[in-house]
Amino acid sequence: MSAMMAIKDSLAATLLKYGADIVRCGDVGRMRDPAVTKIYPGTKSVICAAFRQLRGARRGIEEGSTYYQYTTNAVETLEETVMPMALLKAVAVLEDHGFMALPQRRNQTVMQEKDSTNPEVDYRQIFRGCEQEPQLDFEQCAVDCGLGERGCSGSILTDDFGPFQRYVFILTNAELPADPVAKPHLCDHCGACAAACPGKALDLKTGVDKWQCAVYYAGANMSKNPFMPPEAFLADPERLQLISGEARLTPARARAVLDQLFFYPGVKHGYKTSICGRACDIACYVHLEELGVLKRQFHTPFRKREPWTLPLI
């Protein structure tokens, strides 16, 4: 075994020990995101570590019975606790071998775009237009590292978990053996992700409208939000379109709607509770499970009945 392969194995073992489920590595030559070398010009390899989101964390939303556990366990804890800790431990392995190693997590409230948003956090907490603080294109880097393929919804799909994972990266000047790029074979463009979105935020051609997504992630569609009172948005002239997910929202309008969505408090660390439960990802997972293409099989299918729908009042 080569010395660099031994280092890579040690790095992967550390990441797996601290909670990662999949580790992949890409050489800088195939990384299409210019931010990689902008952030660290000495980058030779990019390591991607993916952490599963528990399927069980979404069960409560599927049943319409429990919402808190998904956001706190499958978003907040992974992003704020588990993945940062694993990154620090893994970076130490590379540093101990004399290499630079720059950890990269999603900074949820910092973005280069001037008027976009991140549905997972309060839009008012986001610092926009931060060109001096470049962020990786996480999905592009995940594909180029060989983690998986990009699905229609924009989510990364893997053989193990479908769309149910989150991931972080390490940029390093170590020339580690690269893994192959995954050959796309999971997403069959069925459109289930787009059809499932309660806010029609996903267009198969143009991608995700982030503001539209943010509003319906937070529960603006009454038929999919058991916490919305009948009097919600009563004074809104577009009420029916809004609460049925038919309204097209400008960023300004989306902000105004988000300010009125207070029916369920956020979890800690400033994360918005997901009321849609990432319906796009769930629909994708259900479809992949039905096709039998996921490596990890469960004794019971995730979806056992038609999704519930509440009446519009």
Interface positions with another protein (CB under 8 A): 19, 21, 51-52, 54-57, 59-60, 63-69, 72-73, 77-78, 81-82, 85, 226-229, 263-265, 268-269, 296-300, 308, 310
Write down the least CB distance from residue 213 to another protein, Å: 22
The smaller minimum CB distance to another protein, of residues 127 and 262, is found at 262
The smaller minimum CB distance to another protein, of residues 38 and 268, is found at 268
Write down the least CB distance from residue 229 to another protein, Å: 4
Count of Cβ atoms closer than 10 Å to residue 1 Cβ = 7
CA distances from 6 to 11, 92, 175 (A): 9, 15, 12
The smaller minimum CB distance to another protein, of residues 154 and 226, is found at 226
The smaller minimum CB distance to another protein, of residues 37 and 66, is found at 66
Write down the least CB distance from residue 56 to another protein, Å: 4
Write down the least CB distance from residue 244 to another protein, Å: 16
The smaller minimum CB distance to another protein, of residues 147 and 174, is found at 147
Write down the least CB distance from residue 203 to another protein, Å: 27
Write down the least CB distance from residue 32 to another protein, Å: 31
Strand partners, 22: 50
Count of Cβ atoms closer than 10 Å to residue 267 Cβ = 20
Write down the least CB distance from residue 69 to another protein, Å: 6
The smaller minimum CB distance to another protein, of residues 93 and 261, is found at 261
Phi-psi region of 196 (alpha: psi -120 to 50; beta: other; left: phi over 0): alpha
Q: Cα(293)–Cα(152) distance, rounded to whole angstroms?
A: 17
Write down the least CB distance from residue 263 to another protein, Å: 5
Contacts 24+ apart (CB under 8 A), 33-36: 33/136, 33/137, 33/140, 33/141, 33/144, 35/134, 35/135, 35/136, 35/137, 36/136, 36/141, 36/171
Residues near 252 by beta carbon (within 8 Å), at least 6 away in sequence: none
Q: Cα(87)–Cα(35) distance, rounded to whole angstroms?
A: 19
The smaller minimum CB distance to another protein, of residues 37 and 81, is found at 81
Helices (H), strands (E): how many in the chain? 12, 8
Q: Cα(62)–Cα(65) distance, rounded to whole angstroms?
A: 8
Chain-centroid distance, C-alpha 288? 17
The smaller minimum CB distance to another protein, of residues 230 and 237, is found at 230
DSSP string, 186-241: S-----HHHHH-TT--EETTTEE-HHHHHHHHTT--GGG-TT--TTTTTT-TTHHH
